[in-house]
Amino acid sequence: MAYLLGIFLAIVAFWMGNSGHYTPLMLGFAALSVVLTLVLSARLKIIDREGAPYVRLAGLAAYYPWLLLEIAKSNWVVIKACLRADLDISPALVKVKTTCKTDLAKVTFANSITLTPGTVTVEIEGDKLLVHGLYEANTVPEAFEEMDRRCARAADPAGSAA
């Protein structure tokens, strides 16, 4: 029920932010489309923890600013690599073990790795991620430990967090 409420609030906020027309006719259409969307989501059975991650919103909201900073830092490294007169990259492929339990946390972790320039998640198998990196020195498994820990804290249920 909480998930349904979360999706409902998110859709209403999305409509309000995108429309800008608040006449009764338009609001009626809005109500109709919101109900239709909820019915369709219920039929698809996607009203669950994954479909409505709004319970973890506080954790994720604290995580993304940190990720933004990491993105800015590694952007600078890759920009320098792009513009250096002589290429000096040393690509590497490593296996990274994650402590994330749920799929949502794993996806957040893999997505964060891919989002930071210089590292791309190539494959996920169970709790191991295959990561391709631009610099060998930046792509050791230890480099991802903090990100892994923060992802687990942000997206895993509170009980299972290490």
Partner 1 sequence: MPDILTLLGDTWTTVRYPLGGATCLLGALLCIVGTIGVLRFPDFYTRLHAASITDTSGAFLVLLGMALMAPHWLVLVKLFCMLGFLVLTSATSSHALANAAHTAGLQPKIGPVGQAGHEDHEEAGH
* Contact residues: partner 1, CB under 8 A: 14, 17-18, 20, 64, 71-72, 75, 78-79, 81-84, 86-93, 110-112, 114-123, 130, 132, 134, 136
Residue 30 contacts residue 23 (beta carbons within 8 Å): no
CA distance linking residue 123 with residue 113, whole number of Å: 12
Least distance between partner 1 and beta carbon 103 (Å)? 14
First-to-last alpha carbon distance for the chain, in angstroms, is 28
Which CB, 123 or 146, lies closer to partner 1? 123
Residue 66, CB-side half-sphere exposure with 13 Å CA sphere: 14
Nearer of residues 38 and 77 to partner 1, judged by Cβ: 77
State which residue, 39 or 57, has the beta carbon closest to partner 1: 57
Give the helix/strand (H/E) hosting 108: helix 103-115
| Dihedral pair phi/psi, residue 15, rounded to 5° | -65, -45
| Minimum distance from residue 102 beta carbon to partner 1 (Å) | 17
Name which of 48 and 136 has its Cβ closer to partner 1: 136
CB of 105 to partner 1, least distance (A): 15
